[in-house]
Structure 1
Amino acid sequence: MDLFTFKIKNAVWQYVLGIFAVVAGFISLFSDIKGLVPLFIGGYLLIQNGVEVNFSNNTYRSIKSIFGLKLGKWEALPDIDYISVFKTTEVTTVWARTASANISKGVFKVNLFYNTNQKIEAYITEDMTDAFEKATLMSSKLHIDILDATTRDPNWL
């Protein structure tokens, strides 16, 4: 596997609303040009962001994906110093008419660090085992160490 692709999963409501808007927009186009509005809104809701790393060409790109089509400019992969796996909290704000609520969940992030403090966010998951599997896969391809920063005392693997 020389190509590593990660796409952030959209929420279920984004898929449902996006597909509904695309279908409604497409049907509306037969009668009026205003059908482009829901068509574009639906397309926007269905876009997934992510990262793709090509280990054989030593390149990477930030991608935007819709309906399997991945867009993004390939760049040279910098000289990666190490891979970090750490736990953090991801907060989502949900708005209603007069109130808002913050929903937080614990996630594990896999980052590729280079030039001391710059990073490429390569993977996000809620499962620690999955995060370490992906970090180990990338570590074996890049021949670099993994920093386990999921606890208060980080240690090298």
Structure 2
Amino acid sequence: MLQPNVITFDFKRRTLISGPHLLGSLLILSGILALVGTSFLNLGDSLERNLAVGMAAILLGLPILSTYGGTRIDFSGNRYKNYRSIAGFRQGAWKTLPLIVRVELIETKRRRTNQPNGISPTLSGNVIEFTILMYASAPRPLFVFVYTNGDKALEQAQLLASALKCKLVLPISQSTKPGRQGTE
């Protein structure tokens, strides 16, 4: 569904179930368990120590979880910014948005394997990714946005093409099979 008065587009590059974001999630979860566990379990530790450990884990996990990169496009100002967000503060410089002539949505199947690193689960499997490519006059895309949800990718591609008043290119399988998700 297109929103008629959209003036910005914001793509966040983060995955909450892998890498540092998983560590942040685990720290927050362990902090909550340390805080709540004191009322259920009588471990003999002092209440102050359990509260300190729980709060420390939460305070360490929050900045890790809230740090990510992204791209923001301001349609009304005809500009864009590649940013790094740390605890909600976005750092990056605005640049002039060149004329976008084409927005393309492609679907790729690949085998994803996480390398064992002690933080991420070591999983592998076939995944389907939906990639939005935005082209200016150059043959290489200016922006690349990857989604695992096909419906969300289609919605965002339509929004971008509409806001930028440019051509939208969709794959045949995407236009005939709505509702596909990114895993097989």
Using the size of structure 1 for normalisation, the TM-score is 0.69
> Unpaired runs of 5+ in structure 2?
1-5, 32-51, 54-59, 174-184
How many residues were matched structurally? 136
> Unpaired runs of 5+ in structure 1?
29-38, 152-157
Q: Does the Cα contact within 8 Å between 1:106 and 1:126 map onto a contact in 2?
A: yes
Identity of aligned residues (%): 22
Letter in 2 for 1:60: Y
Match of 2:21 among 12, 15, 20: 15
Structure having the higher Rg: 2
1:48 is aligned to: 68
| 1:95 to 2:116 alignment | yes
Q: Does the Cα contact within 8 Å between 1:93 and 1:103 map onto a contact in 2?
A: no
CA root-mean-square deviation: 3.1
Please give the residue correspondences for 1:35-114 in structure 2 after superposition, counting only pairs within 5 Å: 43=63, 46-89=66-109, 91-95=112-116, 102-114=124-136
- Which structure's residues are more often strand, by fraction? 1
The separation in 2 between residues aligned to 1:147 and 1:132, in whole angstroms, is: 10
Please give the residue correspondences for 1:19-34 in structure 2 after superposition, counting only pairs within 5 Å: 20=27
Q: Does the Cα contact within 8 Å between 2:104 and 2:133 map onto a contact in 1?
A: yes
Q: Does the Cα contact within 8 Å between 2:114 and 2:123 map onto a contact in 1?
A: yes
Letter in 2 for 1:119: P
| 1:4 to 2:9 alignment | yes
Letter in 1 for 2:93: K
Greater Cα shift, 42-51 or 81-90: 42-51
Q: Does the Cα contact within 8 Å between 1:10 and 1:46 map onto a contact in 2?
A: no
Runs of at least 4 residues off by over 4 Å = 41-46, 100-104
Letter in 2 for 1:140: S
